[in-house]
Amino acid sequence: MDGVSIRSYAKSRRERRLPCASHQGVRLAIQRGALVPPAITASGKINAKAADAQLAEAHPVAAHLNGEPTPSHTNGAPVERLSLAETRRQREELRLRSETVEYHRKAGRLCEAAPLLNKIESEARVLRDVLTVSLPAKLGPVVCAMTPREATLTLEVALRDALAAFVEGCGRAVERAVERERGAAR
């Protein structure tokens, strides 16, 4: 058998309650390139198995409705069917984890990451500016008049000071974030 007609293939998809279940939908899939050989035979008929696979790949929702694992969710791994007891155990484990996180947040052991990361990013920009603009402009003329050993020591001190200011600024950001969270928890 060479394949089935477009209408017959659409009817079989309709009977299986899958998307692309009208002859116009199948024609549109062919026009858009979702169905290509080997799903389409030389005579214009449809190879149902190949077409189902191509449509499942092009439309992950269709694959899911067909009972197949969706590639984006499974990464090619087989889908494991869970028992009711296992599903409940996993749900309870997730609930306990959520409650633990909430407890630690209220106790002041956790804080929001976004404001903290924004502040650290800001401090990193300041450090970058100090290292690329301020220090060269300030130390360039001074270092030219020094011996190599004096220049090395001067640069080490300047870099150490810049890094210490960066660490101190990050520490202040963390302290402020913790205080803000403690105030919000009360």
Q: Is residue 15 part of a domain?
A: yes
CA distance 21 to 13: 5
Q: In terms of domains, do 136 and 171 share one?
A: yes
DSSP 8-state class, residue 3? -
Question: Could you tell me if residue 55 is inside a domain?
Answer: yes
74 pLDDT higher than 70: no
Same domain, 102 and 41: no
Do the beta carbons of residue 178 and residue 111 sit within 8 Å?
yes
Q: How far apart are the first and last CA of the chain?
A: 74
Count of domains for the chain: 3
101, 119: one domain: no
pLDDT one-digit tens code per residue, 107-143: 777 777 777 788 888 888 888 888 888 888 888 888 8
What span, in angstroms and rounded, lies between the C-alpha atoms of 182 and 178?
Answer: 6
Q: Which of 74, 93, 126 is the last residue of a domain?
A: 74
Contacts 24+ apart (CB under 8 A), 173-177: 173/116, 173/119, 173/120, 173/123, 174/116, 176/119, 177/111, 177/112, 177/115, 177/116, 177/119
Q: Does residue 17 lie within any of the structural domains?
A: yes
176 & 134 share domain: yes
**For residue 10, which amino acid is it?**
A
Would residue 166 count as lying in a domain?
A: yes
Are 139 and 95 contained in the same domain? no
CA distances from 17 to 10, 20, 21, 62 (A): 10, 9, 8, 9
Closest residue by Cα to residue 166 from 129, 138, 114, 137: 129
Cα separation, 83 vs 89, whole angstroms: 10
Q: Is residue 106 one of the residues assigned to a domain?
A: yes
Task: State which residues form the domain around 135.
Answer: 113-185
Q: What is the DSSP letter of 109?
A: S
Same-domain check for residues 59 and 100: no
Residues 19 and 68 in one domain: yes
Statement to judge: residues 22 and 70 lie in one domain? yes
Q: Which residue has the higher pLDDT, 116 or 79?
A: 116
Tens of pLDDT, residue by residue over 8-49, are: 999 999 998 888 888 898 998 888 888 898 889 888 899 999
Q: Give a yes or no: residue 1 inside a domain.
A: no
**51 and 91 assigned to the same domain:** no
Do 178 and 117 lie in one domain? The reply is yes
Write down the pLDDT at residue 177: 75
Interval 151-168: pLDDT, tens: 889 889 988 988 888 888
Tell me if 18 is assigned to some domain. Answer: yes
Tens of pLDDT, residues 87-99: 899 999 999 999 9
Residues 117 and 179 both lie in one domain: yes
Q: Are residues 17 and 54 in the same domain?
A: yes
CA 98 to chain centre: 21
